[in-house]
Homo-oligomer: A and B are copies of this chain.
């Protein structure tokens, strides 16, 4: 039954058949009028999804490439930045900033717990010389299923007045309300294999006017990820370098499907899936790794102690061909993660809960 796999990880997420077939079309020339039309449509859809009039740049890269572009275009070596770190992707932000020689202050919270907005506010309030150039956080922490309090942290950033807010929205965009213009988010990075419902290979960066001002004086070296080049090309419905054409075909179709469903409905569906999953997990007597009030709408992490989470994952994979995600780094064996992001529905949540019930009974027998 190897052909009937069910993918329930936080990325790649399930891809609608219509999207797969759009992607399988023969490539067309990327400098043609037909492709320019696709770029124009995609850009319109991206702005809709981000609830913004800001420019959104599409890169041939993974989400990490979009994160890198979100840093190197707006900062200079030695710039002071605050980085939130309460999981693997927050940790990645820190490493990325350090690789580019930024004066990086890491603000930690325990894995499984949210970042504390008050710690950010304290640092920002104390920064009367306006040395802090950016506050950089992960919205939905994919490694733990925690949704960080972006709105509250961003308020502290806005009160500071100078610093940019730079956000990894990789598993929040398309699952959770991320009103870019309303909140004034300066740089929002995301990747295609998540809420977008298409395979990996595209990265996205939404950039505010304030961030474009920072771009003018930012001194970190850049070429492939130079967003100014993408902005200039975007104005002509083009790209500075060869785009990942077939992923654009897929994206165009996926954005159409998303617009048919509507943003409010998409968010409501993800909330329902999260609720069903979390209540089901509690009913099974398992422990939710993230607290209810900071639960990501994209992913639910579940602690299995004393059972080894990898044993449970392996059994479910072998017996039912459902792929769940494991814990990362020190959480390997301690938790498993259920993806309910993108093209996911209630039926699948009931399926995975039924399978978990049977599997726990068997493994604990």
Q: Which A residues contact B (CB, under 8 angstroms)?
A: 5, 7, 9, 11-12, 14-15, 20-21, 23-30, 32, 60-65, 67-68, 95-96, 99-101, 191, 193, 199-201, 220-226, 241-247, 323, 325
Decide: A5 near B28, CB < 8 A? Known: A60-B61, A200-B60.
Answer: yes
Which of A68, A199, A221, A323 counts the most B-chain CB atoms under 10 A from its CB? A199
Highest count of chain B CB atoms <10 Å: which of A67, A191, A221: A221
The interface residues of chain B lying within 8 Å CB-to-CB of A26 are: 5, 7, 14-15, 20
A100 to B225, CA, bound (A): 12
Q: How far is the CB of A200 from chain B (nearest CB, A)?
A: 5
Assess the A7–B24 pair: CB atoms within 8 A.
Answer: no
Residues of B within 8 A of A199 (CB): 27, 244-246
Contact A244 B244 (CB under 8 A): yes
Name the B residues within 8 Å of A96 (CB-CB): 223
For residue A24, which residues in chain B have a CB less than 8 angstroms away from its CB? Answer: 20-21, 23-24
Q: Please measure, in the bound complex, the distance between the C-alpha atom of A66 and the C-alpha atom of B25, giving whole angstroms.
A: 25
Q: Are A9 and B27 in contact (CB under 8 A)?
A: no
Quick check: A62 and B200 within 8 Å, CB to CB? Answer: no
Give 27 pairs: A residue, B residue, CB < 8 Å, sorted on A.
A5-B28, A7-B27, A7-B28, A12-B28, A12-B245, A14-B26, A15-B27, A20-B25, A20-B26, A23-B246, A60-B60, A60-B61, A60-B62, A61-B65, A62-B224, A62-B241, A64-B241, A67-B224, A68-B224, A101-B221, A191-B242, A193-B245, A199-B244, A200-B244, A201-B244, A201-B246, A224-B225
| Contact yes or no, B23 A200, CB < 8 A | no
Contact B243 A62 (CB under 8 A): yes
A215 to chain B, nearest CB (A): 14
Q: Which of A26, A68, A225 has the most CB of B within 10 A?
A: A26
A243 to chain B, nearest CB (A): 7
Q: In the assembly, what is the distance between CA of A246 and CA of B23, in Å? A: 10
Quick check: B20 and A242 within 8 Å, CB to CB?
no
Chain B residues with Cβ under 8 A from A220's Cβ? Answer: 221
Residues from chain B with a CB closer than 8 A to the CB of A29 are 7, 9, 12, 323, 325
In the complex, chain B residues whose CB is within 8 Å of the CB of A30: 12, 200
Q: Which residue of B lies closest to A249 (CB)?
A: B199
Determine the chain B residues whose CB is within 8 A of the CB of A99 once the complex forms: 221-223, 226
- A232 to B354, alpha carbons, bound, how many Å? 39
A200: chain B residues at CB < 8 Å are 27, 30, 60, 242-245
